[in-house]
Chains A and B, each alone.
Chain A
């Protein structure tokens, strides 16, 4: 199922933030497992999209494909208009580092490192000096509402705060696309709501966000909901604002 037309709130002059063209992923084995089956999806700049579906429907695989963490068996993936199919490992690393921001269920913060330096780490592989990294990290932490917790280490923070640090790290380099993998999976309902609220606010500020979740309720709060089933797009609904 392909989205036709220009979604509201997008910028027609810019290329799509992400485009999957009949992407399939088959894991070899006996029998081979088709995790993604010829998926098409276009995400315009400024959109916020929830990808939902039951366990094993291919959500994680799709996230890995979208994030260029793994290669598709067939099909084409364009990130910010760039075809990633034939790129070397090195080039893919550069695309991940510059164009995509990742938010994971388990945060993946460095334990002995302050919130500020964890966020600054998001710029580590872009050849930016430490002082500039920290400056930009400070701005990012302010954006996620953690301006008062910059010098704290993750172990002294709540789960919700940790996830906000991770979100700040994902946006510190101003990526074309933020990919969140079950961002509320490890959080209580109150913290979850705050994280969803934060994602929505970042969307309002112009970020392009894709949230992979099995939480339908959370997905219902977002502008667009893509439902996967058995590796195929079952539905793609847009909420009228």
Chain B
């Protein structure tokens, strides 16, 4: 009995690779097609994730459990404010944690008394309490926030934009600002608030001081509250009636993180379009490989015949051509992933984004390359194997 033909595992790869190495240019061009397709997929996924990194970081830093209660824009609502007692009522809801508010103060802020009264710089004045910073996860850039004592005396904390407009970079020299006709000491400057950008363009003073010095009514204009993550929707539903039992329909409850998430989703939508283009590039790359393989089989009929004459079975021939297609596509895939990651990292660096390469892009890219190689290789491989040895040997 003659022992059956056998191709060692290592030789499978040697045979597949040698077929490609003798046709380097053609092999690298067809691998390039796959590389471009995979690179665009990885790049699009990587760039869209990285471009969202700032938003995602903000969302995770700030939490998604902040709700904001405002007197709504109901018909005829005008300059409505929430009832003063609404704070107390809302804070007694079991799922509500930290709570704070701002009240409107009808006043303008000036750097000094030489500024004409018309040039207000669009800076608002809000009264608030000492809980505001914690409730909003805000951060102090310089100085300190309103403390118990400061609530009653005219002292101001400036939002980031306000400080910039007034030209106050830090607290050296104990800067003061003029609010209406009263000189007020600046005790702190804030970092930007991600979830409450209104406050960046405001000067915040103590709630009681606002009433005492600037004739404010003191009704909450916006209430900020942190809610138990698991009961957000339920809490959201009962808040209007809690805040204003008489006219709950005029109370609006919003979730500031929704805005960030909507922004992030909008960027994803955009990425989907490019993902589609990347998929088309990949398909074209796959067709390129199939094309090269079909031509290769036609050109190499002599080689196929010879291999059959030195003992190769049909399955050895299939294995050989399938291996070639897979080596091509995997090489293209790996190159594509590297290019995609490189592009993402490079562009993110220029934009100051954190580099995020989703696993889906990495493994999906390689997986797609392997799948395409197998698909592109199977038909030419079967054709090669179907050739009878005598037929194959007739050509060169």
Contacts and interface: CB of A to CB of B under 8 A. Distances in A.
Interface of A: 64, 67, 69-70, 82, 89-91, 93-100, 102, 104, 106, 108, 110-113, 121-122, 124-127, 129-130, 169
B3 A98 contact: yes
Contact of B15 (A97, A106, A112, A124): A124
27 contacts: A64-B390, A69-B309, A69-B390, A70-B388, A70-B389, A90-B5, A93-B308, A94-B4, A96-B308, A96-B309, A97-B312, A98-B2, A98-B311, A104-B306, A108-B393, A112-B21, A113-B22, A121-B310, A122-B310, A124-B312, A125-B5, A125-B312, A125-B313, A126-B5, A126-B6, A127-B7, A130-B11
Contacts of A89: 313-314
Contact of A108 (B5, B10, B15, B306): B306
Contacts of A124: 7, 11, 15, 307, 310-312
Question: Interface of chain B, helix or strand or loop or mixed?
Answer: helix
Nearest to A67: B309
Given A89-B314, A90-B313, A126-B6, A110 B389 contact: no
B302 interface: yes
A89 B8 CA distance: 20
B333 interface: no
B146 to A, nearest CB: 80
B2 A82 contact: yes
Contacts of A67: 309
A69 B2 contact: no
B106 interface: no
Given A90-B313, A96-B309, A113-B18, A130 B10 contact: yes
Interface of B: 2-8, 10-11, 14-15, 18, 21-22, 302-303, 305-314, 316, 388-390, 393, 396
Contacts of A100: 309
A104 B388 CA distance: 16
Contact of A94 (B10, B311, B389, B396): B311
Q: A interface, by DSSP: helix, strand, loop or mixed?
A: mixed
B395 to A, nearest CB: 9
Query: Most A CB atoms within 10 A — which of B18, B309, B313, B390?
Result: B309
Contacts of B6: 125-127
Contacts of A69: 308-309, 388-390, 393
A96 B316 CA distance: 14
B356 to A, nearest CB: 43
B311 to A, nearest CB: 2
A97 B389 CA distance: 13
Contacts of B390: 64, 69-70
A125 B311 contact: yes
Nearest to A127: B6
B22 A126 contact: no
Contacts of A111: 22
A102 B8 contact: no
A90 B4 contact: yes
A121 B11 CA distance: 10
Q: Which of A99, A100, A125 has the most CB of B within 10 A?
A: A125
A122 B312 CA distance: 10
A97 B7 CA distance: 12
Nearest to B308: A93
Given A70-B390, A90-B4, A111-B22, A130 B14 contact: yes
Given A69-B389, A97-B310, A108 B302 contact: yes
Nearest to A172: B310
Please list the 4 inter-chain residue pairs (A to B) with the smallest Cβ-Cβ separation, ordered nearest first. A97-B311, A112-B22, A127-B6, A125-B311
Contacts of A97: 5, 310-312
Contacts of B305: 108
B22 A110 contact: yes
Given A67-B309, A90-B313, A125-B312, A106 B3 contact: no
